Copies of this chain bind each other. A is one copy, B any other.
């Protein structure tokens, strides 16, 4: 995805908003190199990931491969370096490598591009931004940290203002316990059952019920009924969420532990001021079955469920077992911003951004340029993004340019204005025009620019 400047400005504002909110919650920035050692990247993965990895070779390495092997490539000679395909593996490598220089719990955010050699198709990108936060503990990490995550998600998407959203919560232990209680104890079987349950939306309850009671699974009809009831649970309020947990009963250890964790998370999410309309239990959410072990999160736009989850993640048991002997449990989420941006644009949910340029200083004739430059300097020193028309042209053309570029204010400094010590300003957003003393211009524009934030702010 390559954007024209006005779209890039909109994209950049979203990146800034996410970063600002990540920092507001005390997460620290980390950036890692785009290349990792192939052996590091491929440690955890199965063949699927390897098929999607981009390998990197310098000319020297290419030559060496060609010459050293007498022109033949050994069957599995993978290049030494590859491009990261997510930010989790680099985080694991980073934490393991810098373990002794980091303070735990380590709270980091990372917003960089990742690379996947996917087949090019609409809305799928081979290079895309991920915006991740994680809290990584050493040896242990309290469930309390799980409660901060929904507060961060809430802050981010409230400020992004892309519509009503719901943060959906579940807990893997609770799920495991519940399935065990239905006689589905074996992890592999649980995974297979969940994959069938995932087809509810597409194939309907009858299909799923038949499959699970059928030959391949052979589950009891009443167990399947309870499972189908369970995965339909969505709470409608904070009290309802607590009641839903209560209703699960005592059950087994895993269920009890999952319920206790989720209850604590819910209580602290409320203490953090997340409105109860913005979060809910959803017992159908599983996420990466072999990775997450506790709380799991998904976030959906209420009016655009077809977009799917726009921010997901969860609690994991051990981040970096491949790279260090320390046990590093953590909890984190990821926003795939490139895809989200594309989807929002497709859905018509993104307004065309105003330019990052706030003021265009026009030029009546070549002789006035020094005045215009001095005015621009005053505006810039006051913090306003200012462009000067450097070559004289018809004023109408300059206005047309500002309009097309999405620049809100156009300043005219003609001979009359210079004589009066004033500037004439046209506000293209309000279709309004006013003359103001030059010494008061910057302040006047800043008041105008702050206005919409006060009117429509969150």
Task: Mark each residue of chain A from 66 to 106: 1 if its CB lies under 8 Å from any CB of chain B, else 0.
Answer: 10000111010011000100000000001000100111010
Q: Which of A103-150 contact B (CB under 8 A)?
A: 103, 105, 107-108, 113, 115, 117, 127, 142, 144-145, 148
Cβ of A270 to closest chain B Cβ, rounded Å: 9
* A373 and B272 contact, CB distance less than 8 A: yes
Report the Cα distance A258→B23, complex, angstroms: 49
Structural contact, A107 and B387, CB atoms closer than 8 A: yes
Total interface residues on A, using CB and 8 Å? Answer: 85
Q: State whether the Cβ of A357 lies closer than 8 Å to any Cβ in chain B.
A: yes
Q: A31-B8, A268-B369 are in contact. Are A148 and B59 (CB under 8 A)?
A: no
Q: Which of A1-49 contact B (CB under 8 A)?
A: 2-5, 8-9, 11-12, 23-26, 28-35
A34-B127, A73-B66, A405-B103 are known contacts. Are A28 and B5 too (CB-CB below 8 A)?
Answer: yes
Do A58 and B65 touch (CB < 8 A)? Answer: no
| Chain B residue at minimum C-beta to C-beta distance from A3 | B31
Q: Is the CB of A271 within 8 A of B56?
A: no
B28 touches A59 (CB 8 A): no
Q: Which residue of B lies closest to A75 (CB)?
A: B66
Copies per assembly: 2
The distance in angstroms between the C-alpha atoms of A56 and B380, with both chains bound, is: 42
Report B-chain residues with C-beta under 8 Å of the C-beta of A271: 369-370, 373-374
CB distance from A329 to the nearest CB of B (A): 13
Instruction: Tell me, yes or no, whether A57 is within 8 Å of chain B by CB.
Output: yes
- Cross-chain contact A65 with B73 (CB below 8 angstroms): yes
The 8 A CB mask of A342-381 against B (1 = contact, 0 = none) is 0000000000000111000000000001100110110010
**With known contacts A59-B50, A373-B271, A385-B23, A356–B72 Cβ distance under 8 A:** no
Given known contacts A144-B391, A271-B370, A369-B268, is B29 in contact with A9 (CB within 8 Å)? yes
- Alpha-carbon distance between A55 and B373 when the two chains are bound, in angstroms: 45
A418–B2 alpha-carbon span in the complex (Å): 53
* A391 partner residues in chain B, CB cutoff 8 A: 142, 144
Q: Is A51 an interface residue (CB 8 A)?
A: yes
Contact A24 B380, CB 8 Å, known A59-B117, A102-B4, A391-B142: yes
Given contacts A25-B386, A26-B388, A103-B405, 18 further A-B contacts (CB under 8 A): A2-B31, A2-B32, A5-B28, A5-B29, A12-B29, A28-B355, A50-B59, A53-B58, A54-B57, A55-B62, A56-B83, A60-B117, A62-B79, A65-B73, A142-B391, A148-B388, A148-B390, A268-B369
Where the two chains meet, the residues of A that have a C-beta atom closer than 8 Å to any C-beta of B are: 2-5, 8-9, 11-12, 23-26, 28-35, 50-60, 62, 65-66, 71-73, 75, 78-79, 83, 94, 98, 101-103, 105, 107-108, 113, 115, 117, 127, 142, 144-145, 148, 151, 155, 267-268, 271-273, 355-357, 369-370, 373-374, 376-377, 380, 383-388, 390-391, 401, 404-405
